[in-house]
Structure 1
Amino acid sequence: MEPRKTVARSIKERLANIVSYGTHRITNAVAEGINSKIMSIKRWVGGFRNIGNFQIATFFHCGGLDLLYPRSSRMAPNTSR
């Protein structure tokens, strides 16, 4: 009987979140995925000397940049001909 009481307590504590999901169909899965990626970047690099470098690395890895085909406004082909 105790496991059922534990489940009932958990549902009671989280009832607002359960109803919110049923109403809006929105979760924080995307945010958790991004956070996981950022934490793996943090472990992979072994630390930064300043927060700016960490932000740049995070934006670089989470931004979906393609290093094989860099595009800038100066190098873009002229397609208005």
Structure 2
Amino acid sequence: MDEKRGDVQEMSDFELVVYETVAEIDKEGGAADIGTLTELIERPEEEIWAALSHLVSANHVRSTSDGFVLGSHDWAP
């Protein structure tokens, strides 16, 4: 799997919040679903979907059947 990731500096402050929330859930062995993200971040679902869309397109997160998890990365868990 040699997918190119977007530059983390291209993330907006809000996208970084969404990314960090997904990362925290992923670290605990779960996948972040939209309901959980909306509850934890307390922002409109549309804003979260927009952030997720950008994060997925940049390969920072990926979608699974259970929700969103971190994309490939080059640092240790």
TM over 0.5: no
Q: Comparing both chains, which one has the higher relative contact order based on Cα–Cα distances under 8 Å and sequence gaps of 6 or more?
A: 2
Of structures 1 and 2, the larger Rg is shown by: 1
TM-score of the pair, normalised by structure 2: 0.26
TM-score of the pair, normalised by structure 1: 0.25
